[in-house]
Structure 1
Amino acid sequence: MGEHSWRAGLLVGGLLICGLTRDTSFFGIIPLMMWCALGRTWWTGAGVGLVLLGLLAWFAVPRNLQWSGPWVPTRVESFWLYAVLSVVVCLIGVLVQRGEGVTWTPWLLAVLVMGFAGAGVLKLGDYEGNAPHDESVLPGPSALQLNEGDVQCGSGHGAKCAREAEATGERAGEVMRAHLTSYGYTSASTTWTGNERLCRTSGLVSVREVCAELKDLSATSLRVRWYVNRA
């Protein structure tokens, strides 16, 4: 039982990470399952397994905590880049314990194919103009009441979609700007209509930028419109 305990611990840890983090695909568990089949010794199995578990946590947790920055992977990267790094880690483990990895090449390639396929589906959705996620704009600060309007989309393939909400409450503009700033939004160039714009970026390799346009309607109300500017 002790010889195989690292496999159980690895799978339980992976399921917990995938299950407890919002918007995380269970694709993340596949490299862990593959390594459970590839691992032969306790030390190599547990060592490589911990690296894979840490890798999964890196690609899942920061994004679900709504952090941003150049070290926070995007959702697209959680497929293709996570697959590439996982395969590299597994291949190193196979070479360490067996001296060759040819036998398991089809399995490693399968993970790569699934990772790039998943990323492709997400990129296609961005191209087709899927509406942005909450992007830390919603649910918004507790001091304000936010009422979301209809999703706005341009016409034709590749047209971007935006979401819009009206925030009401005391010092609505000041409170909403502070809320967005706390989630990594920084001042960007104003729009052609003169509205203030705040943006934040994330991504290790490919940059994803989300922008929020702010328009004060009164001292107690503000309209915020957000969209994916680069993906």
Structure 2
Amino acid sequence: MGNPGVSRWAWRAALVVAAVVVGTFPWSGAPFGLAAVVPILIWCALARSPQQGVAPGLVLLALLAWFVVPRGLGWSGPLVPSAVEVCWLYPIIAAVVCLVAMPRERGLTSSSLGLVAMVGIGFLVTAVVLLDRLEAKPGDEGVLPAPSGLRVAEGTGHCGSGNCSREVTLSGERAPEVVREHLDSRGFSARTPQRMCRETGLVFTHEVCAELATAGPDAVEVTWYVN
């Protein structure tokens, strides 16, 4: 016979490990999705058995994948959650899922505290992220890492009027064309011949724009910022 204790914890461990792997996708940028592992941890604590916990846990994992993977793949549009929405919107949706799936015999106090903690931690992380972004240069935002084969020289960037930008000069064979193709593959679309933007966000739009300026026959300067 199997060990009931091992069985009781195995599904929880598997779910948390899977959530960490999904939450850190694409494994090369800022792991915003790690904040979304908290609701899954709380659900694992609230659910009493695999029969009660596995199915809702898989729903939470699927939702986490939706919030993290499309943006990591470079997709854009109104159905692609932004990075900040992973921190606050996902916990709200997760709390609703957990409320529906909560065993009715579970103590009201412990269940309520778990759901409040789920949402509260999400808003706390969101506040920290937003404060950290004030007067801060944008992250890679899909512009970096640069296409292979190009040399990267990062400039000093610029801050002013409550916003900051970053700039890099990319050089190499056919650099201007390669960079445009790279940005297009990361969800950017042309707004003007020298300006490409991409939008994400289910509730609030997060728009990043990149401006391209020729810096030589095989070099291009890219400046990007968050609108």
Specify the SS of the correspondent of 2:86. coil
Deviation at 1:225, TM superposition (A): 0.6
Other-structure match for 2:78: 70
Does 1:60 pair with 2:58?
A: no
Give the Cα–Cα distance (whole angstroms) in 2 for the partners of residues 210 and 101 of structure 1.
Answer: 45
Q: What is the aligned counterpart of 1:10 among 1, 8, 15?
A: 15
TM-score (norm 2): 0.86
Deviation at 1:224, TM superposition (A): 1.0
Other-structure match for 2:141: 135
Against the structure 1 CA distance between its residues 12 and 178, is the aligned structure 2 distance closer, same or farther, given a 3 Å change threshold?
Answer: closer
Other-structure match for 1:28: 36
| Residues 3-50 of structure 1: CA deviation (Å, up to 9, x unaligned) | 543223222222333456442243222211211222134322111111
Other-structure match for 2:187: 184
How many residue pairs match? The answer is: 218
Contact 1:24 / 1:60 at 8 angstroms: preserved in 2? no
Specify the SS of the correspondent of 2:83. coil
Contact 2:87 / 2:125 at 8 angstroms: preserved in 1? yes
Q: What is the aligned counterpart of 2:58 among 40, 50, 70?
A: 50
Specify the SS of the correspondent of 1:62. helix
* Long gaps (5+) in structure 1: 191-195
Other-structure match for 1:175: 178
| Residues 121-169 of structure 1: CA deviation (Å, up to 9, x unaligned) | 222333x2211111222221223222111121115xxx11111111222
Specify the SS of the correspondent of 1:77. helix
Deviation at 1:99, TM superposition (A): 5.9
| Residues 50-86 of structure 1: CA deviation (Å, up to 9, x unaligned) | 1111122222323333332222211210111011011
Contact 2:210 / 2:225 at 8 angstroms: preserved in 1? yes
Task: In structure 2, give the amino acid aligned to 1:116.
Answer: F
* Long gaps (5+) in structure 2: none
Does 1:88 pair with 2:96?
A: yes
Give the Cα–Cα distance (whole angstroms) in 2 for the partners of residues 11 and 139 of structure 1.
Answer: 28
Other-structure match for 1:40: 48
Give the fraction of aligned pairs with identical amino acids, expressed as a percent. 44
| Residues 74-101 of structure 1: CA deviation (Å, up to 9, x unaligned) | 121011101101101111111xx31677
Give the Cα–Cα distance (whole angstroms) in 2 for the partners of residues 46 and 204 of structure 1.
Answer: 27
Other-structure match for 1:193: none
Against the structure 1 CA distance between its residues 222 and 91, is the aligned structure 2 distance closer, same or farther, given a 3 Å change threshold?
Answer: same
Contact 2:46 / 2:114 at 8 angstroms: preserved in 1? no
- Which portions of structure 1, spanning 4 or more consecutive aligned residues, are displaced by more than 4 angstroms? none
Contact 1:151 / 1:161 at 8 angstroms: preserved in 2? yes
Contact 2:214 / 2:220 at 8 angstroms: preserved in 1? yes
Contact 1:18 / 1:60 at 8 angstroms: preserved in 2? yes
Against the structure 1 CA distance between its residues 43 and 210, is the aligned structure 2 distance closer, same or farther, given a 3 Å change threshold?
Answer: same
Task: In structure 1, give the amino acid aligned to 2:196.
Answer: L
